[in-house]
Amino acid sequence: MKKSLWLTLFGGLVGVVVAYGQVERAQWNDINYELDPISMTAMVAETPKISGDVIIPEKIQVGSHWYTVTDIGEKAFKGNKKLTAIVLPHTIEHIYRNAFDGTGIMQNKAYWNEGVLIIDSCLIASNKDIATKYTVPEEVRVIAAGAFENNKTLTRVILPDGLQEIDHDMFKGCKNLTKINIPASVQRVGQDILTGTALYADESRWKRGALYVDGCLIRAGEGINAKFTFPKKTHTRLIASGAFADNPVLRTITLPDSLLEVPSALFLNCVELQEVVIPSTVERVGFYAFYGCEKLRNALLPRTLKQVGSYAFYGCLNLQEQVLSDAILSIPTGCFSKCRSLKNLELPNALLRIEDGAFAGCTQLEKIVFPTTLEHLGDMSFAGCQTLTKLEIPEGVVQLGKGSFKDCTHLYSVRFPEGLYSIDDEAFMSCLALAKVVMPKDLFRIGKNAFAECQSLERVVMNDHVHVIEQGAFFHCIQLYEISFSKELETLGQSAFELCINLRKVFMNTTLEKVGDRAFAKCRSLQEVSMSQALVQIGEAAFLECKNLQKINWPDGLEQIGQDAFRDCIKLTAPRDMGGVRMGKNAFKNCR
């Protein structure tokens, strides 16, 4: 958890948001939600302790923003026997697996009719009392993932017109199922909807190694050709999620012209796939769509694209180029992570967010031009981009995520926005070429190991407002020769400058009351320290083995010097009179 972003009261109702990297969470009327700040939608998250009759609202308000409730998440109420009734809004689009398993609702006979559980036009589950040939009522607009899974009674199912989606595992394991329909209204078909059914096992239903139902390619097996073509007689308007996943044969494919979406996990781990032609009709690329396609070289996204999913191109080691549509507002978690050959990338002009690990491990990425609209850089977003040399962070970014540019070994120049508030933990750790850092005027915090192991860093220009320098912030910055702290510095963490072997002078004209343990340990070139007059405590081994340290002005209010604080400072003359100061063991051992 990072920190609470806001707490707002509205008419007695509390909305609390907490940022967890990419995910933002809220609680509203004792129900937990996960928020999508781009689409402004909310999903009911695990809420195991709520009881009685529950009403899920159409929208929730958090801060000044309204989020539409569209999803009931996986295991949202699982095992909650005290949940006896629920009202679902018409805005619900998805109900994920096991959302109501083991709840009092499942035991409430009033909800069940002819072997199915239907609540507010949402079909939740089925049992053995269902008819062998079952027609889903026209009123049903959402069917939960796995609602008919492992139902041995079903032989045929007729789905209603108006249904938008057939979710994952819908009929998986229905071993006697021989026929279903896919209505023209369906826009998305999930993974493994027919695996383990009689229909799936019927070899006569497979054409050229692929199974089709009503213009939807359900699954492609190992019997397909390396160069896959869609049959002209079968107008393919949909492809199920994961239809080609783990296929060891497929090398090239041209997707159908009418396709609106490259479904999730469509080519997951297709290790021989080299080229995919994506039609201009495509507006979305699902999560994990090309995950692990190590040989993929060409899969250019169309200008019509509006959304790309998490980990969509993760591990595409040979992908060299990609252009993202200006309609894309967010690049999600891990989207291009480990695309080691990616050199050229054009970011959307209106981009708002780059999420956790989006480009981590893109070792050949030489240049990134951030749009001025950018507001968020997530954790590890560009970690390991070894050939990246220069950065100019846009003015809208107020926080750099943990490890955001860690191990960018050739990065030598960074320009920070003036409004930057926090440089989070390990943000520039092991950026070996970084030589100078000018802290922006509003910077408040430098996180743990933020610049640790930056072995070319010679100069750090502090501002007047840095309050916190965390543990190991400049650990082992061997070229750093001088540091002056801001007047408002309040925290100097453990090992903050340990092993800065060329550091010669330290100026603490601050309100700092404590020097952290090992803060300057083994700074063997350190000669002079100008202590803060507000200083009360010097931590353990704070100046251990600073062998050239000779000059210190001792503050009048000093109360404690920790164990080994100045041990082996062989040129330092130990003070004769430190009346009232609590002295740790060996505090001045081997001093003059």
- Tokens standing for residue 60: 């929730």
Contact between 115 and 130 (Cβ < 8 Å) = yes
User: What are all long-range contacts of 229-238, with beta carbons under 8 Å and residues at least 24 apart?
Assistant: 229/254, 230/254, 230/256, 231/207, 234/207, 236/212, 238/182, 238/186, 238/187, 238/188, 238/189
E strand map for 424-467: 436-438, 445-446, 459-461
CA 89, CA 120: separation in Å to the nearest integer?
A: 8
Q: Convert the pLDDT of each residue in 349-407 to its tens digit.
A: 999 999 999 999 999 998 899 999 999 999 999 999 999 999 999 999 999 999 999 99
Give the residue ranges of DSSP H helices in 84-146: 104-107
- Tell me, what amino acid is at 523? C
pLDDT of residue 14: 37
pLDDT at residue number 509: 76
Pseudo-torsion of CA 275, 279, 285, 286, nearest 10°?
-80
Least confident window among 1-15, 349-363, 556-570: 1-15
Give me the mean pLDDT over the 415-439 stretch: 97
Which are the contacts of 570, defined by CB distance < 8 A and separation ≥ 6? 547, 590, 591, 592
Asked whether residue 558 carries a pLDDT value surpassing 60, the answer given is: yes
What confidence score (pLDDT) does residue 2 get? 31
| Positive/negative CA dihedral, 64, 372, 474, 401 | positive
**From CA 56, how far away is CA 476, in angstroms rounded?**
53
The percentage of the chain sitting over the pLDDT mark of 70, rounded to a whole number, equals: 96
- Tokens 């520039």 map to which residue? 428
Question: Residue 17 — pLDDT band, cuts 50, 70, 90?
Answer: very low
Closest listed residue to residue 172, CA positions, set 152, 156, 186: 152
**Residue count of the chain:** 592
Residues 343, 339: Cα–Cα separation, whole Å: 9
SS3 state of residue 528: strand
* 191 and 241 Cβ atoms separated by less than 8 Å: yes
> CA-to-CA distance for 404 and 229, rounded, in angstroms?
41
Structural domains in the chain, CATH included, are 4-189 (no CATH), 202-319 (3.80.10.10)
Structure confidence by residue, pLDDT tens digits, 78-106: 998 999 899 999 999 999 999 999 999 99
Give whole-number Cα distances, 558 to 235, 303, 582, 583, 587, in Å.
82, 65, 9, 11, 14
Cβ–Cβ under 8 Å, residues 31 and 56: yes
Q: What is the pLDDT of residue 5?
A: 29
Q: Please tell me the pTM assigned to this model.
A: 0.89
Q: For residue 23, what pLDDT is reported? A: 58
In Å, how far from its chain's centre is CA 242?
Answer: 22
Please give the pLDDT value at position 261: 95
Question: Per-residue confidence at 533, pLDDT binned at 50, 70, 90?
Answer: confident
pLDDT tens-digit readout, 451-461: 999 999 999 99
Residue whose entry in the numeric block shows the structure tokens 């009522």: 137
Among 46-55, 111-120, 425-434, 496-505, the minimum mean pLDDT is found in 46-55
Question: Tens digits of per-residue pLDDT, 231-290?
Answer: 887 789 999 999 999 999 999 999 998 899 999 999 999 999 999 999 999 999 999 999
The model's pLDDT over 286-314, given as tens digits with 9 standing for 90+, comes to 999 999 999 999 999 998 899 999 999 99
- Give the position of tokens 């920070």: 416
Lowest mean per-residue pLDDT among 334-348, 360-374, 516-530, 570-584: 570-584
- Whole-number mean pLDDT of the chain? 92
**CA angle, corner 54, sides to 49 and 58, nearest 5?**
120
Six-digit token string for 504: 């010669």
pLDDT tens per residue, range 113-172: 999 999 999 999 999 999 999 999 999 999 999 999 999 999 999 999 999 999 999 999
pLDDT surpasses 60 at 9: no
Contacts of 393 (CB under 8 A, 6+ apart): 370, 377, 400, 414, 415, 416, 417, 420
| pLDDT given at position 577 | 75
Q: Which class for 12: exposed (0-12), middle (13-18), buried (19 or more C-beta within 10 A)?
A: exposed
Looking at residues 315-332, what average pLDDT do you find? 93
pLDDT at 444: 96
